[in-house]
Structure 1
Amino acid sequence: MKITLNSTEVSYFTLAAHVDTGLFKYFSFLILFILYVVILCANVLLIVVICMNRSLHEPMYVFLCSLFVNELYGSTGLFPLLLLQILSDVHTVSAPACLLQVFCLYSYGGVEFFNLAVMSYDRYLAICCPLQYNTRMNSNKIARLVALSWIYPLLNNIFFIFLTARLQLCGNIINKVYCDNHYIVKLSCSDTSVNNILGLTHMFTVILSLVVLILYTYVRILKVCFSGSKQTRQKAVSTCTPHLASLLNFSFGVYFEIVQSRFDMSSVPKVLRVVLSLYWLTCQPLVNPLLFGLQMSKIRIIYKNLLFGRKM
């Protein structure tokens, strides 16, 4: 796959935000490599724990497993190419590889947001409709919700990648450490109105709908907490706190990324811009296993059994 550049074909992009300062690149490589290994180990461990223990075969843990699989998917879409680029003296990436990374990272973000919305709906049913929970959250519905969380973002991003690939470009320099669709579209010297209109339409329909769903579920949960018993409040706090923390963490990361992409950040130090651009892709896969693994009592007990080989 090649992209047209002033009647020629772009075969590669240059990732211009990499900082080559002697030993610094080896230090940053080591830090990111360790971070990647920790993310892989933590998320794989949680997936194995959920899959291997029948006591965790409940809707909430199925959705958690989908979330952890997505963390592995997004991290693998970022880290291998990022680590190679850090050690390379020439920070170029082929056009097909760049578009593939764009697809992986953007679909990761979409799946993450869908998963968090589905989890908020699940918590709403469990806390606000406990007597109807098992009938309303049956296995068929769980399968449909998980499938929707993955299929829609993947198909949606295939379509947006197709729109990007058809653009004629006036440059091939991306001022980031990874490939970004918004920056590629900004390089275009052809009409990008279709890309912009469809992007805004997607934002104000799908994303806004998910935000409204999440806000609605938490308003209802808070209403039940204030009017319910102490036991109900404790249940809501124990199950909703890690989800809410994960949601806020991801939302802040995406907000940082949107602000940096849409506004002039030249006054901000380059290293800080790089860190902020990586936040939504690195912090969420690292924090989620800690949030859900340590906060949920069933997972904590199974962790202890695995570590000490006895019932706690």
Structure 2
Amino acid sequence: MDDELNVTYITLDGFIELHTYRFLYFVIMFIIYFLIICFNFTIVYLIWIHQNLHEPMYIFIAALLINSVLYSTNIYPKLLVDILSEKQIISYSACVFQAFMYYTLACSEFLLLAAMSYDRYVSICKPLQYSTIMRKTIVSMFLVLSWIVPGCEIALSVIFNANIKLCNFTLRGIFCNNSIYKCQCLSSVVLSVYGVFVSLNISFFPMLFVLFTYTRILIISYRSCKSVRRKAAQTCLPHLLVLIGFSCFFIYDIVIVKLESDFPKTARLIMTLQIILYHPLFNPLIYGLKMKEISKHLKGLLSKFKSY
């Protein structure tokens, strides 16, 4: 590429043996993306058509699964195009936008999980006040803030970084994430501090809130009757599984930039594929199998298909 193109385009250098396994990669990634869409929208469809699932907890689950589809759609279509292309490149502006959407949707996940944990806390620990506290307006406010707050805070970071000069035009990854800042000539202390503030505000603090809330639920349910303990286990366990899995991948994504020169390319690719594979693919399975009401309707849907 000449200098003019280098200013505009970033090369994605995270693939391994792409020329040899190009079509195998494409088939696997396409099947995974198809399954992600099918699994997530199946649960969303069940929540939408069944009146008894029109409760805050299930609405938050539907929002979480829609968020997973958006998260995957931000990555997979471009990834599939890159696999079939001779050159894996992306314009700098498109790369910044992909990174913006990636972190906005990832942080929305934490806020949605925080909203779900609060809903479970009120349901189990303050059952008589539940209908008063978790009104439709409150649920709607939680949903809107879960997407608006990360979008606004990360948009400021994108604006601040927009005019910083680039000295490196190769990204060690298969899609754009915070590794894009390694392409900049100089790192700004102010922007680094702001990045830490954003990470704490819309990922770390919500995660602590979830852990604190579920700790309170476990303490109160332990002191209560057996039915309360069973309800707490049935509704809280899926949320905790999702939180733990997603938190591990998110922490890896942040830390990997600091260890970029020491992390093997193969290990990096494997971990990156897990970030975009397990989380959006297994979320609907966890909620579909572990949530009693959803599982019941899912079995009914599957039995209808078998009868055809």
Same fold (TM over 0.5): yes
Letter in 1 for 2:126: C
Q: Which moved more, 1:51-60 or 1:15-24?
A: 15-24
- 3-state SS of paired residue (1:10): helix
Letter in 2 for 1:28: Y
* Equivalent residue, structure 2, for 1:271: 266
Corresponding residue pairs, total: 304
Q: Is the 8 A contact 2:110 2:202 kept in 1?
A: no
Q: Does 1:13 align with 2:31?
A: no
User: TM-score scaled to structure 2, two decimals?
Assistant: 0.93
* Equivalent residue, structure 2, for 1:160: 157
Letter in 2 for 1:67: L
Per-residue CA distance 1:7-39 (angstroms, 9 max, x = gap):
997211000112234431221211111100000
* Equivalent residue, structure 2, for 1:282: 277
Q: 1:216 aligns with which of 204, 212, 220?
A: 212
Q: Give 1:209 shift.
A: 2.6
Per-residue CA distance 1:182-231 (angstroms, 9 max, x = gap):
32222212452222010012233443431331122012111112111111
Q: Give 1:289 shift.
A: 0.3
- 3-state SS of paired residue (2:10): strand
Per-residue CA distance 1:72-96 (angstroms, 9 max, x = gap):
1000001000111111111111122
CA distance in structure 2 between the partners assigned to 1:206 and 1:19 by the alignment = 33
Q: For residues 83 and 70 of structure 1, do their structure 2 counterparts lie closer, same or farther at Cα, with a shift above 3 Å needed?
A: same
Letter in 2 for 1:254: F
Q: Does 1:295 align with 2:293?
A: no
CA distance in structure 2 between the partners assigned to 1:299 and 1:201 by the alignment = 37
- 3-state SS of paired residue (2:75): helix
Unaligned runs of 5+ in 2: none
Letter in 1 for 2:183: L
Q: Is the 8 A contact 2:168 2:182 kept in 1?
A: no
Q: Give 1:308 shift.
A: 2.2
Letter in 2 for 1:128: C
Q: Is the 8 A contact 1:6 1:170 kept in 2?
A: no
* Equivalent residue, structure 1, for 2:53: 56
Q: Give 1:51 shift.
A: 1.1
* Equivalent residue, structure 1, for 2:248: 252
CA distance in structure 2 between the partners assigned to 1:173 and 1:265 by the alignment = 13
Q: 1:77 aligns with which of 74, 91, 113?
A: 74
Letter in 1 for 2:132: T
User: TM-score scaled to structure 1, two decimals?
Assistant: 0.92
Q: Is the 8 A contact 2:150 2:202 kept in 1?
A: no
* Equivalent residue, structure 1, for 2:140: 143
Q: Give 1:6 shift.
A: 9.2
Q: For residues 277 and 265 of structure 1, do their structure 2 counterparts lie closer, same or farther at Cα, with a shift above 3 Å needed?
A: farther
- 3-state SS of paired residue (2:257): helix
* Equivalent residue, structure 1, for 2:171: 174
CA distance in structure 1 between the partners assigned to 2:234 and 2:46 by the alignment = 20
Letter in 2 for 1:237: A
Letter in 1 for 2:203: I
Letter in 1 for 2:302: L
* Equivalent residue, structure 1, for 2:130: 133
Q: For residues 255 and 208 of structure 1, do their structure 2 counterparts lie closer, same or farther at Cα, with a shift above 3 Å needed?
A: closer
Unaligned runs of 5+ in 1: none
Q: Does 1:234 align with 2:230?
A: yes
Letter in 2 for 1:223: I
Q: For residues 95 and 135 of structure 1, do their structure 2 counterparts lie closer, same or farther at Cα, with a shift above 3 Å needed?
A: same
Letter in 1 for 2:67: N
